[in-house]
Structure 1
């Protein structure tokens, strides 16, 4: 269709110009050669375009996702087809204008070349715009697979210039070719018409370029801003300098950045309340009361004689000391791959193996327990007891659909809490069940010694306990 439009423009211009007398006797030769070239270029162009389309859109026909290379090739399809069309039309300019020069004058050849060139420009522009429109479904899937980065195959500026050339440039140059006579007299108005037409062309091109830049420049800034926002710059804001739809788009980008910043703040607060592992679990499973039974190692920390501490010190001083303790707990547990599940007044429940599975929860829990004890002993502000136990436990969301929390429930948790009560009187301030010590790595087991058999409150059978070996003085 684009080629028919271009051919129509050429035919109209040549008819309006009239056949030069110098080539009138040989017009049939030029017409036959031109017809042969048109037929040949139609065959070559059709085959070339079909090859490009088949190679470019094979993934679309097969209904699969494109690779990045296939996606980039699809985005270049309008440019490739326009290049094919332009190449064939340039060949026509060379062939037909050369024949005209052979049988006529160079002025005759120039007029024919300009007419064919205008038809070719129109064909190239229409080919590009039509391909973009027809191939929109292919473009959509290609852009999803390979979002444009860096140099773009077609910018807003180029698209507007092409539109101007088709709508104004080609018709105006065509008018010049028709009305300008080959010989100009002193009173001929053609020079004035030429000056006005050239002025119109220049001003039109300049105005279109300025308009295109007025649209493209803020869009370019918006694209750069969105790239920065995607990389984590939630504080970035775009200056609103346009009262049109572009200004509305700039406002929307700023609103997007504000919304993402608020989401990041909420996620950060959420993570501080429940832990990053629980946040990831909640994002993965949503607001569902779900969970599973898995083998975990529980670590319980409790402050020694906290009641007396609260009676002797001001509340803010008690809170300061507890925050220092819990900072050591969080640091040690996080370092060894565990989760601080909850703070219970002056105590903390930590879990290894949930919600994220752990390759060796027993070893990590024992190492974390020793690290907490050493950090608290170094600070010298508080005394504590630590209990460590392992076993199957339910790990998941507990509560109702409107209010729930991630928690761990099982005998291992209860056993760790009971061990903590006895650990407060133990020299090493840590007691671990025998199941934990047997499950840990040999290198860690060598650092522990048997403590004794203890009847824990609420448990029917006695528990074999272990404690860390004394630290070298």
Structure 2
């Protein structure tokens, strides 16, 4: 067998030592309970050869420890292989690994049951039937204590193994282990075993002449110790994962979606851990889709769709449209490689998006080497005209600084339909109206003027006085497809 990966070795060593300590410790604890009960009751009165029973008990404990270790290793041999080698388990191997506490408890219970029969029969052969019953009940109480301790502690020791197994086979459906199971075991160790011990000491058959009052006091102390230990195990097994869940949910409430809770419990708590991870994964996927959605249609449109739903609806808005188009793009595509042209267009559109977003507008769509920007829809603006003119000048200055492309910019204002257009299965947010057509036509004319930027009189006259000073009245032009001529304003090369 190959050696475990270096990063897995400390975990393998710690877990192996934990199981070894569990096997020895639980057996010693159970034997201690038997010894105390026999001491409290006194030696069996009809057995003269006590040493025979003591020697057999010591031999059986040693043999049971070896058999139990080998038996458990045989049941979990596949678990040992994948855990030591550092590979992920198969689903069948994972389900088997989740049975570690149950397998260890069953092995321990079976061996203690055999020990109960063996010691009872030996006590009966050396003494009387009452001695057989008394010794048998004493060993049985010790066995119940050992089984309970084994199960509760095994869950803790096997947690690294179970965490890996639960990542492959998360808890679902009908659970083999529940919080109720742990509560019952805790009650059995804290109250059940001491109560049976009290009944055993206080009622016949009495094995000896021990003082019942002192015996009951000692049993009460044993019950308190066992109860405190079992309760501490249960509290840690429940409180620790719940604390991690609370911390994770606090992080999610703060907006983090990269939180993951380790699933290390096979009970309802494990199902809750899995549910939290599924919920966070859903939130993470939702944020990813929202980000992609926003990148395709714009953050404003994405927010509008999430708030009002997706439907073929819209309304008429007073907006300012800004249209950007590259000069002589056909010749550019002929002269330069496609990837170089795309890189330049991407740098242009970066300047467009930054300038428009700064003024609260929306880049509604990219059309090859052109872009349509809208101010006033879907988000209403207090002064869409001024915002559009500021963005237009910012785009012009940014493109002029790079010197890579020549472009025309047209700005127009008016009522448009703003909303979803298409079919119920596929649609997009768009604006339709004369203002959009006018901005596109002004862009064609802007390509022929020195400043490469034209705005309609309606836009400039609606802007603030400080912005109006950056524009000068131009000539009246007859735009293609429009009956009335448009009074234009051109941006000053240097602001006044």
When normalised by structure 1's length, the TM-score is: 0.61
Counterpart pick for 2:332 among 309, 324, 327: 309
Counterpart pick for 1:248 among 271, 286, 289: 271
For the residue of structure 2 that corresponds to 1:414, the secondary structure is helix
Q: Equivalences for 1:46-445 in 2 at 5 Å?
A: 168=191, 188-445=211-468
Alpha-carbon offset, residue 216 of structure 1: 1.2
Alpha-carbon offset, residue 164 of structure 1: 6.1
Q: Provide Cα deviations, 1:332-382, integer angstroms capped at 9, x if missing partner.
A: 000001000000000000000000000000000000000000000000000
Alpha-carbon offset, residue 322 of structure 1: 0.4
How many residue pairs were aligned?
310
Q: Using the alignment, how far apart are the partners of 1:280 and 1:419 within structure 2?
A: 31
Q: Using the alignment, how far apart are the partners of 1:195 and 1:437 within structure 2?
A: 97
Alpha-carbon offset, residue 420 of structure 1: 0.2
Aligned residues of 2:412 and 2:459 also touching (Cα < 8 A): yes
Alpha-carbon offset, residue 193 of structure 1: 1.5
Consecutive unaligned residues of structure 1, counting only runs of 5 or more, are 1-155, 180-185
Q: Equivalences for 1:27-46 in 2 at 5 Å?
A: none
Q: Provide Cα deviations, 1:276-316, integer angstroms capped at 9, x if missing partner.
A: 00001100111211110010000000000000000001110
Q: Provide Cα deviations, 1:61-100, integer angstroms capped at 9, x if missing partner.
A: xxxxxxxxxxxxxxxxxxxxxxxxxxxxxxxxxxxxxxxx
Aligned residues of 2:469 and 2:495 also touching (Cα < 8 A): no
Q: Provide Cα deviations, 1:389-430, integer angstroms capped at 9, x if missing partner.
A: 000000001111110000000100000000000000111111
For the residue of structure 1 that corresponds to 2:278, the secondary structure is helix
Q: Using the alignment, how far apart are the partners of 1:470 and 1:240 within structure 2?
A: 65
Distance change in 2, residues 1:187/1:239 (3 Å):
closer
Aligned residues of 2:241 and 2:269 also touching (Cα < 8 A): yes
Q: Using the alignment, how far apart are the partners of 2:376 and 2:223 within structure 1?
A: 76
Consecutive unaligned residues of structure 2, counting only runs of 5 or more, are 1-178, 203-208
Q: Using the alignment, how far apart are the partners of 2:384 and 2:221 within structure 1?
A: 82
Q: Provide Cα deviations, 1:91-123, integer angstroms capped at 9, x if missing partner.
A: xxxxxxxxxxxxxxxxxxxxxxxxxxxxxxxxx
Q: Using the alignment, how far apart are the partners of 1:380 and 1:164 within structure 2?
A: 81
Q: Using the alignment, how far apart are the partners of 1:412 and 1:285 within structure 2?
A: 25
Computed over aligned residues only, the root mean square deviation of the Cα atoms, in angstroms, reads 3.0
Alpha-carbon offset, residue 451 of structure 1: 1.1
Aligned residues of 2:191 and 2:223 also touching (Cα < 8 A): no
Query: Hey, what does 1:457 align to over in structure 2?
Result: 480
Q: Using the alignment, how far apart are the partners of 2:296 and 2:339 within structure 1?
A: 20
Q: Using the alignment, how far apart are the partners of 1:289 and 1:267 within structure 2?
A: 20
Q: Provide Cα deviations, 1:142-197, integer angstroms capped at 9, x if missing partner.
A: xxxxxxxxxxxxxx9xxx89x969x949x96xx89xx8xxxxxx953210111012
Q: Using the alignment, how far apart are the partners of 2:403 and 2:334 within structure 1?
A: 19
Distance change in 2, residues 1:449/1:199 (3 Å):
same
Greater shift, 380-389 or 193-202, is seen at 193-202
Distance change in 2, residues 1:472/1:216 (3 Å):
closer
Greater shift, 338-347 or 215-224, is seen at 215-224
For the residue of structure 1 that corresponds to 2:325, the secondary structure is strand
Q: Using the alignment, how far apart are the partners of 2:210 and 2:298 within structure 1?
A: 90
